[in-house]
Amino acid sequence: MLNKEVKTKLIEEYHRHESDTGSPEVQVAIITSRINQLTDHLRAHGHDESCRHGLLKLVGQRRRLLAYLRKAEYQRYLVLTDQLKLRRK
């Protein structure tokens, strides 16, 4: 689970306006941070199948959000993938 401070920092960095907490950019940034945490955990605990299942669900959710953002506003998609250092299709 992400700390409140980390999540707040991500929201402040990727928000589109002052009260924005749910835009696709913010959601992708939060999910990416959580994916990185779970990936590190799985490197240390390779047999944690419930963690692996949660990781796969998050990866799918992030993929759907990125597909939506790519279709809706391509320029924002490009900027976000560059900032988060994600591969593009």
Which CATH number belongs to the domain containing residue 78 in this structure? Answer: 1.10.287.10
Mean pLDDT of 80-84: 97
CB atoms within 10 A of CB 31: 19
42 torsion bin: left (phi>0), alpha (psi -120 to 50), beta (else) = alpha
Question: Could you tell me if residue 69 is inside a domain?
Answer: yes
pLDDT over threshold 80, residue 89: no
Question: Could you tell me if residue 89 is inside a domain?
Answer: no
Question: Could you tell me if residue 42 is inside a domain?
Answer: yes
Q: Indicate the pTM of the whole model.
A: 0.94
Q: Per the structure, how many domains does the chain have?
A: 1
Mean pLDDT of 14-40: 96
